[in-house]
Structure 1
Amino acid sequence: MAEIKLRKLPERTPVKMTLQLLPELAEALQEYAAAYEASYGRAEPVAELIPAMLASFLESDREFQKTRRPR
């Protein structure tokens, strides 16, 4: 079969994790969700924002990115 442009899609099955947060962090996340709503005019639950926040943090950490294997 000929090679196609689109690479094989990565695993996309969500992995559920349970976290315990200090009250101050939980409050800050609620405040962030309110700031998100004020900025974009759309409310999103904190649970929906956290994965995007973590992905953004990891993508922006240059030293961490250097340690990762190429995909």
Structure 2
Amino acid sequence: MGQLKLPRLPERTPVKVTLSIPPDLNDALTDYAELYATTYGRQEAVAELIPAMLSLFLESDREFVKIRRNKHSKVIADQSKGATL
């Protein structure tokens, strides 16, 4: 089977994660949601903002991005070695 230009789409099913946070972090997140609403004129629940905040944090961590990219490049290379055309 040939290679398509578009790679296989990643898993897109949301994963629910439950966590406990300290009260001061909850207060800060609530304050952030209020500032977000004031800035953008749109109210968003803290639970809706957290995934975007985490993504932005991870994307801004240069070392993490570099290591993760190298890890995924190795996985793709290993998969390519096993593929038959």
Q: TM-score, normalised by structure 2?
A: 0.74
Match of 1:50 in 2: 50
Whether 1:59 and 2:67 are equivalent positions in the alignment is: no
Give 1:21 shift: 0.5
Q: 3-state SS of the aligned residue for 2:72?
A: coil
Larger Rg: 1 or 2?
A: 2
> Cα deviations across residues 26-50 of structure 1 (Å, max 9, x unaligned)?
0000000001001100000000000
Gaps of 5+ in 2: 74-85
- Identical counterparts, % of pairs: 61
Give the Cα separation in 2 of the matches to 1:3 and 1:70: 18
Q: 3-state SS of the aligned residue for 1:18?
A: coil
> Cα deviations across residues 2-58 of structure 1 (Å, max 9, x unaligned)?
755433221011111111000000000000000100110000000000000000000
Match of 1:17 in 2: 17
Measured on the aligned residues, the alpha-carbon RMSD in Å equals 1.5
AA matched with 2:28: A
Q: TM-score, normalised by structure 1?
A: 0.88
Gaps of 5+ in 1: none
